[in-house]
A = this chain, B = another copy of it.
Amino acid sequence: MTAASSVSVEWIAADWGTSHLRVTAMAAAGPVATAASADGMGRLHPEEFEPALLRLIAPWLTAGVTPVIACGMVGARQGWVEASYRAVPCTPAAMDMLTRAPTQDKRITVHITPGLSQIRPADVMRGEETQVAGALVLNPDYDGVICLPGTHSKWVHVSAGEVVSFQTCMTGELFSLLSQQSVLRHGIAATGFAPEPFDAALSDALSRPEKLAAYLFSLRAEGLLADLPPIAARSRLSGLLIGIELAATKPYWLGQRVTLIGEAALCGFYARALASQGVSVDLLPAGDATLAGLSKLRGVL
C-alpha cells in the first residue's frame, strides 16, 4: 500500500478493538494507506483515545476536516464514548445512530458505530456488526449464518438484510487462559497444529460435550504420563474448545449456509471442524468485511 500523501484522503476507517487499533486512509477510489498500533481500548483512559488516534493518522490530515468512522470496543462503556446498543432484529449497519466522540483537534470528527444487543438469550456485540454489514455489502442477498471466530466468537443468523439472532462463545478467551495461564500451559506449544489430535478432540467434544471438564485435565495427565507432544496438546485443546462451541451453536450451523469472517488461520480451523460435520463454508477476510461495513456507514455522513 502506498503512502497517502499524493492523493486526497477523504475519510479514515478505524477498527478499534480491545487490544488493537487499525486505521485505513480512504480516498474516493478506495484505501490508500494503513497504520496500526497496540493502543486498544483495554489500555486507554477516555482522554487518551484522541492522542492514540492522532499518532497514527496525523500524516494523512489536511487543513480541512477529515471524518473518522470507528467500530469496535472503542464504543464500550469503558471506551472513548459509549455508543449504545441497537436491539436485534435490525440491520447490522446503523445508518442513523453514529455517536460523536469528543475531540480537541479541529482537523477531525470521530463517529462511533453502535453495537447490537439481544434480550433473550442476553447477548451483545461490538465491531462484528460492522463486519456483518460489510458482508452484506459484498453479497447483498445473503441469507444464512455468519460465524466470526475470535476471542469472543459470534454466530449470526442473517435474513432479508437483518440480523435475526446471534450467539457469543468465549472460545478464544478460554483458549488463551487455558493454554497460557492454567496448569495446562506446562505442556502446550505456543504455536503449531497437528490435524489428527485436533480432529479426535473435536469429535470427542461434539459427541460427549458433557465430558469437557474431564477431557481438559487429561491434556496435563497425558503430558506427564505419556509424553503427549506439546503441539498435539495445543491442537487437542483447540479441537475441544471449538468442539464445545459447535455443540452449543448447532442450531446455527446445522444444515445452514455458513460464511466465516476472521483471521485466516483461525478460520481454517473452523472450516475444518465444520467440514467434519458436513458443512461447507465461504471465507471472507476480516479486513475486507470491516472496510466494506465502515464504507457503507461513510455514505450517511
**Which B residues touch A210, using CB under 8 A?**
209-210, 244, 247-248, 250
Contact of A170 among B211, B213, B245 (CB under 8 A): B213
CB closest residue in chain B, given A181: B177
Residue from A119, A152, A209, A226 having most chain B Cβ neighbours under 10 A: A209
Partner pick for A247 among B174, B213, B220, CB 8 A cutoff? B213
Measured in the bound complex, the distance between the Cα atoms of B50 and A96 in whole Å is 69
How many copies the complex holds: the figure is: 2
The answer, yes or no, to whether A265 is at the interface (CB within 8 Å) is no
Contact of A121 among B178, B214, B224 (CB under 8 A): B214
Question: In chain A, residues 239-295, which have Cβ atoms closer than 8 Å to a Cβ of chain B?
Answer: 241, 244-245, 247-250
Task: Judge whether A171 is part of the interface by a CB distance below 8 angstroms.
Answer: yes
Enumerate chain B residues within 8 angstroms of A77, measured Cβ to Cβ: 224
Q: Report whether A152 and B209 are in contact in the complex, using a CB–CB cutoff of 8 Å.
A: no
Interface size of A as a range: 35 or more
Smallest Cβ distance from A211 to chain B, in angstroms? Answer: 5
The residue from B122, B170, B174, B212 contacting A226, defined by CB atoms under 8 A apart:
B122
- Chain B residue contacts of A224, Cβ below 8 A: 77, 117, 124
Q: Does A196 contact B (CB under 8 A)?
A: no
Closest to A245 in B: B213
In Å, the complex CA distance between A121 and B225 comes to 11
Of B184, B209, B218, the residue contacting A123 (CB under 8 A) is B218
**Apart from A174-B213, A177-B177, A212-B212, what are 18 other A-B pairs with CB-CB below 8 Å?**
A118-B221, A121-B214, A121-B221, A122-B218, A122-B221, A123-B221, A124-B221, A124-B225, A170-B182, A170-B213, A171-B213, A174-B182, A177-B178, A177-B182, A181-B181, A209-B210, A210-B244, A213-B248
- 8 closest A-B pairs (Cβ-Cβ)? A209-B210, A210-B247, A122-B221, A169-B213, A213-B248, A168-B217, A214-B248, A122-B222
14 interchain pairs, CB-CB under 8 A:
A85-B225, A122-B218, A123-B218, A124-B224, A124-B225, A167-B214, A169-B214, A170-B182, A173-B183, A177-B177, A210-B244, A210-B250, A212-B248, A214-B249
Contact surface of A with B, Cβ cutoff 8 Å: 77, 85, 117-119, 121-124, 152, 167-171, 173-174, 177-178, 181-184, 209-214, 216-218, 220-222, 224-226, 241, 244-245, 247-250
